[in-house]
Structure 1
Amino acid sequence: MVLVDPYSSGVALGKALRRAGLTTYAVLSYPPPDPRLTRTFEAGDHTDVISAEKGFSRVVDFVRNLGPLAVIAGIETGVELADSLSAELGLTLANDPALSRARRDKAAMMRTLQDAGVPVIRSMPVTDWRGSAQTVAAHGLSTETGDLVVKPTRSAMSDGLRLARRGSDLEATVREVLGTRNVMGSVNDTVLVQERVHGTEYVVDTFSDRGHHVVTNVCRYNKVAFGDSFAVYESTDFLPEDSPEIAALVPYVKRVLNALGIRFGACHNEVMLTEDGPLLMETGARLAGSGLVGAAELATGGSGISRYVQRLAEGATDGGDYRLQRRVRGVYLVFRRHGTVTNTAALERIRTLRSCRHAELSVRDGDVVSPTGGLMSTMTRGWALLAHRDLDQVERDHEEFRRIESELTFTGHAGEGR
């Protein structure tokens, strides 16, 4: 089996495939993503490794000699290369190669969905900050009438996400993002300007086999806003399969998958459920990251990884949507001010909470921190995975998590207090 950029959840996928008796080979895209994403990669886990720095033709020859059943993207950076290799080899367990860009580039994604008649957020890509306000105004987008969201077209994890508030200078916001290097390792040469929509954001993770889509889990993002940050992750809830929102979310997501040419593999779909119905934030044609796959296993007994194993090692998946087995919630540390943090020893009590199954608590006394922003900063500071069959227990432990967090002290920098 060939894994392209087996970082983050791709590491766990490789381990699961090898436990199932399959041999894995790694192909690494170039330039590489941020070291915070690649740090868990171990070349020795795979029978052989090749970098795309050697050239596409060398990589094609390498992969062709292996005769793989499938070429799978481990994270976002591997999507297009995995598509290209699958097309070169004529693999049937693959997505439509003609729509590869639409599965990676957010501007192409929105345009493709709109052309297919799928409701989307009003969007306009720009490549130059100069004149960008006039360019998007011609398409009905302006900070004179409302808030606008600015995001790189080829990044992920909220990296580079900005809010241009009503009355603000849109061109200044676009200029902040254009030309900077993102966590995926590339330069932001295009940004997407979008109307800000309001509602509740959900995750619908799916697995597809020859165009048949099943749902592996549905989550609700709970976000907060403060200071310059308008979408800070506070917690993530795994929802029962009979939650009322699912009736609107799942049919919409399946329309998205069909329009984007998804035929095989895991997808991570983020959707805003508004008063007018669901609207796609973005689709990642790969496994969910940020620990969601492991949490899904705990919540439902399965995930995109187990579906890959069933299909590739056993020849077929169970074919059905998920069923929730226990209530699972990820809760994240949220810092609202700049300062030097102390009393972090108090955080160790989080591990003793009755429903706490796992905790990553990275912040230490003396660390100088800034207000929590994108998902990368959220995941590298601290979080806990709460799981219990009793939702009330999860709720109580969530409240206790916040009480423990409030014992942290911040000194030295002026800014908004807790």
Structure 2
Amino acid sequence: MQRYVVIVDGYHLQDGEDRAFASAFRARGILPVTVMSTPAPLEKFIKKSSWHPDDFEAVHFHDGDLGKLVDIVRGYDPIGIVAGNERGVELAAELVEILMPESGNVKGSAPAQRDKGEMIRALERAGVPAPKTLSTDDPAVVARWIEDSGLSGKRLIVKPPASAGTDNVHLVEAGGDWRGYFDAILGQVNGFSLRNDTVIVQEFLEGPEYIVDLYSVDGQHGLVDTCIYAKHDRGPRIGIYDVADFLPPDHPDVAVLAEYTKRAADAVGIRNGSTHAEVIMTAEGPRLVELAARYSGSCMMISGRLATGDNQIHRTVRHLLDNEFTPGFELVQQVRTLWLCADFEGPVRRMDILQAIQDLPTVYRMSIPPDGRSVPMTNDVTTSLGWVIQGAADWAAIEADSARIRELERIWNATNIDSRPRSV
């Protein structure tokens, strides 16, 4: 008898034979079906070449009739229902609660796994240290809150409540004007086709930033990987990823970060499946930037497999098919993920300059657009020009090649900018 798995919002990178959940489940004889939370694929993922409907046995779009969708999913008698993307977290939770409640998260907890205001309130209720955060549609409330919270004259973050990929995240310098960013975000439709009904205003956290990925089975949280990562800014737009370096399990920060993230996962009701968290290690200890009940995005499943021999996708498969729980991880080699930036928008040329990256000894895999494709200026993860995964036995080799990659990136940007027509 044929068995199926349902992936809600099955967007994924096209990377040879490795097609995220689709190929991982097919390798075990399970056919993947995708249910889309929107009436049509989202434009942002089509542009990023992350929508590959042929990888699924069937594609079903949600037209708003949940009962009809439940009947469709029930007809597959799936072994599991999992979110393939941030946008699918809440619909996946609804379907699981109706069709297989024993295998889901705490009932009704999905909003706290998506909305950054609900998320921080859940941490506060559970006594988990969290950044000072406000979610509101009223600028007068913001002004009072800044004063009452002791944040006057301090740096602030202003961002949407339910976006991802550092979309529309703005830094307000100490004493700066937050109102313009607030007004621009409120009411805007984000890349997930969701209207920003509130705006998040948050204290700026100082300290190194980490990715902490978990996979949970029946309330047990296993650590999948931990990375320290670096970002850079483009004016007030912050959150452009530079690199993410995988850490060994015995790194002095890993145990503290893992314990904190597990408490945060408990606070927002996660009992089964993936958690992707971003955490800053402040002078007072770890503080959550945000988390999501889905696997780590971009190319991190590929780089994670290279670094640890495992990732959240493969833990999902073993959980659903073998009821396996893995408590921790090993670092099998040094791995860095590096993101490339375009300093302009428009069609790209001379991609041969960047193709030379592939010949560097530590480069495992890379992705860049072809000559002629129009690209946006990079200002967040979604608008990154591309990515490079490096692997080696030692960091010296990775650092040497990283320096060369950045040199080629600078040359490429300069070549494209110099060749563009000048306005008169």
Please indicate, yes or no, whether the TM-score normalized by the shorter chain is above 0.5. yes
For residues 199 and 141 of structure 1, what CA distance do their matches in structure 2 show? 20
1:286 is paired with a residue of what secondary structure?
A: coil
| Letter in structure 2 aligned against 1:42 | H
Tell me the equivalent position of 1:92. 102
2:354 is paired with a residue of what secondary structure?
A: helix
Tell me the equivalent position of 2:381. 375
Q: Which moved more, 1:322-331 or 1:27-36?
A: 27-36
* CA deviation profile, 1:251-293 (whole Å, cap 9, x unmatched): 1011011111111111111111111100001111011110101
Tell me the equivalent position of 1:250. 258
What's the RMSD between the two structures over aligned residues?
Answer: 2.3
Q: Check the 8 A contact 2:136/2:142 in 1, yes or no.
A: no
| Letter in structure 2 aligned against 1:60 | V
Q: Check the 8 A contact 2:221/2:327 in 1, yes or no.
A: no
Q: Which moved more, 1:332-341 or 1:304-313?
A: 332-341
Match of 1:171 among 174, 179, 195: 179
2:187 is paired with a residue of what secondary structure?
A: coil
| Letter in structure 2 aligned against 1:393 | A
Match of 1:153 among 161, 167, 173: 161
| Letter in structure 1 aligned against 2:392 | H
Query: In the superposition, relative to structure 1, how do residues 368 and 154 fare at CA in structure 2: closer, same or farther (>3 Å)?
Result: closer
Q: Check the 8 A contact 2:212/2:225 in 1, yes or no.
A: yes
Q: Check the 8 A contact 1:32/1:184 in 2, yes or no.
A: no
Cα offset, 1:50, TM superposition: 2.0
Tell me the equivalent position of 1:309. 317
- Structure 2's unaligned 5+ residue stretches are none
Match of 1:332 among 335, 339, 343: 339
Tell me the equivalent position of 1:362. 369
Query: In the superposition, relative to structure 1, how do residues 147 and 51 fare at CA in structure 2: closer, same or farther (>3 Å)?
Result: same
Task: Tell whether 2:350 aligns with 1:346.
Answer: no
Tell me the equivalent position of 1:396. 400
1:81 is paired with a residue of what secondary structure?
A: helix
1:134 is paired with a residue of what secondary structure?
A: helix
Cα offset, 1:23, TM superposition: 2.3
TM-score normalised per structure 2 = 0.90
Match of 1:3 among 1, 7, 12: 7
| Letter in structure 1 aligned against 2:145 | V
* CA deviation profile, 1:306-336 (whole Å, cap 9, x unmatched): 11121222x2325231100011111122355
Q: Check the 8 A contact 1:151/1:193 in 2, yes or no.
A: yes
For residues 106 and 338 of structure 1, what CA distance do their matches in structure 2 show? 30
Query: In the superposition, relative to structure 1, how do residues 220 and 350 fare at CA in structure 2: closer, same or farther (>3 Å)?
Result: same
1:179 is paired with a residue of what secondary structure?
A: coil
2:251 is paired with a residue of what secondary structure?
A: coil
Q: Which moved more, 1:251-260 or 1:33-42?
A: 33-42
Task: Tell whether 2:76 aligns with 1:76.
Answer: no
Q: Check the 8 A contact 2:11/2:52 in 1, yes or no.
A: no
Tell me the equivalent position of 1:320. 327
Cα offset, 1:376, TM superposition: 0.9
Tell me the equivalent position of 2:114. 104
Query: In the superposition, relative to structure 1, how do residues 403 and 217 fare at CA in structure 2: closer, same or farther (>3 Å)?
Result: same
Tell me the equivalent position of 1:46. 56
Aligned-residue sequence identity (percent) comes to 32
Task: Tell whether 2:241 aligns with 1:233.
Answer: yes
* CA deviation profile, 1:171-204 (whole Å, cap 9, x unmatched): 1110111111111121111111000111111011
Task: Tell whether 2:137 aligns with 1:137.
Answer: no
| Letter in structure 2 aligned against 1:6 | G
Match of 1:34 among 33, 37, 42: 42
Cα offset, 1:32, TM superposition: 5.1
Q: Check the 8 A contact 2:307/2:331 in 1, yes or no.
A: yes
1:78 is paired with a residue of what secondary structure?
A: helix
Query: In the superposition, relative to structure 1, how do residues 54 and 124 fare at CA in structure 2: closer, same or farther (>3 Å)?
Result: closer
Cα offset, 1:384, TM superposition: 1.1
For residues 133 and 320 of structure 1, what CA distance do their matches in structure 2 show? 42
Cα offset, 1:34, TM superposition: 3.4
Cα offset, 1:112, TM superposition: 0.6
Cα offset, 1:365, TM superposition: 7.0
* CA deviation profile, 1:336-383 (whole Å, cap 9, x unmatched): 56798765432121110001111112274796864x3111112xx122
Query: In the superposition, relative to structure 1, how do residues 108 and 31 fare at CA in structure 2: closer, same or farther (>3 Å)?
Result: farther
For residues 249 and 102 of structure 1, what CA distance do their matches in structure 2 show? 20
1:97 is paired with a residue of what secondary structure?
A: coil
1:24 is paired with a residue of what secondary structure?
A: strand
Task: Tell whether 2:391 aligns with 1:387.
Answer: yes
Task: Tell whether 2:72 aligns with 1:65.
Answer: no
For residues 306 and 338 of structure 1, what CA distance do their matches in structure 2 show? 36
Tell me the equivalent position of 2:32. 24
- Structure 1's unaligned 5+ residue stretches are none
Residues 256-267 of structure 1 aligned to structure 2 (within 5 Å):
256-267=264-275
Query: In the superposition, relative to structure 1, how do residues 251 and 392 fare at CA in structure 2: closer, same or farther (>3 Å)?
Result: same
Query: In the superposition, relative to structure 1, how do residues 40 and 173 fare at CA in structure 2: closer, same or farther (>3 Å)?
Result: closer
For residues 340 and 98 of structure 1, what CA distance do their matches in structure 2 show? 45
| Letter in structure 1 aligned against 2:34 | A
Tell me the equivalent position of 1:14. 22
For residues 350 and 119 of structure 1, what CA distance do their matches in structure 2 show? 42
| Letter in structure 2 aligned against 1:355 | T
TM-score normalised per structure 1 = 0.91
Q: Check the 8 A contact 1:124/1:192 in 2, yes or no.
A: yes
Task: Tell whether 2:391 aligns with 1:407.
Answer: no
Query: In the superposition, relative to structure 1, how do residues 166 and 413 fare at CA in structure 2: closer, same or farther (>3 Å)?
Result: farther
2:401 is paired with a residue of what secondary structure?
A: helix
* CA deviation profile, 1:34-77 (whole Å, cap 9, x unmatched): 32325433334333332211510101112223322321111111
Cα offset, 1:136, TM superposition: 2.7
2:63 is paired with a residue of what secondary structure?
A: helix
For residues 57 and 206 of structure 1, what CA distance do their matches in structure 2 show? 32
